[in-house]
Amino acid sequence: MATADHSLSQANSTFVPDASRMRIGVVVSEWNRTITENLLGGACDTLRKHGVSPENMPVFRVPGSFELTFGAQQIAKYGDVDAVIVLGCVIRGETSHFDYVCKGVTEGVTRLNASQDIPVIFGVLTTENIQQAADRAGGKYGNKGEESAITAIKMIDFICKLKK
């Protein structure tokens, strides 16, 4: 998790396992595209940096953040991947829609983590305004996409160690 004094975006690559044998799917929301494309870029760049080849990081797009849970479930079921990264951005508006979408996607990803045999990584920004989102999608607080990629690699490594 990124905070003012800690960001996985600044993680030392010596602490990230080799990911060259990993296949990691990414599902990204088309809503708030400027932000989500920055998250996607950060995730893909980080996966490549740690050895994941482009053909082993399939990317799928869904219309909005609420659809991310279904997208992640389908990738876990049919995508032949070791983990799924879920990327989206929900920005508070004038109605309670923000609360419902945030709760739905958060609970959905949590359910997937409990029901799937692979990790589903939560990389969804839930912010008050566009500036907060930009600050977390490559801005002053790093890039949640990068953090999500590192988390996926570490969780796959965690599973591999358990299975040995």
How far is Cα 75 from Cα 81, in angstroms, rounded to an integer? Answer: 7
Our answer to whether residue 97 is catalytic in this structure is yes
Q: In this structure, are residues 116 and 76 in contact, taking their beta carbons and an 8 Å threshold? A: yes
Residue 158: CA count within 13 A, CB half-sphere: 10
How far is Cα 126 from Cα 54, in angstroms, rounded to an integer? Answer: 28
How far is Cα 30 from Cα 21, in angstroms, rounded to an integer? Answer: 29
Local structure of 22: helix, strand or coil: coil
How far is Cα 88 from Cα 40, in angstroms, rounded to an integer? Answer: 9
- Unique residue bearing structure tokens 């988390």: 151
Q: Spell out the residues 6+ positions from residue 32 whose beta carbon is closer than 8 angstroms to its own.
A: 88, 89, 90, 91, 133
Catalytic position from the list 6, 97, 103, 111: 97
Which residues form the catalytic set?
97
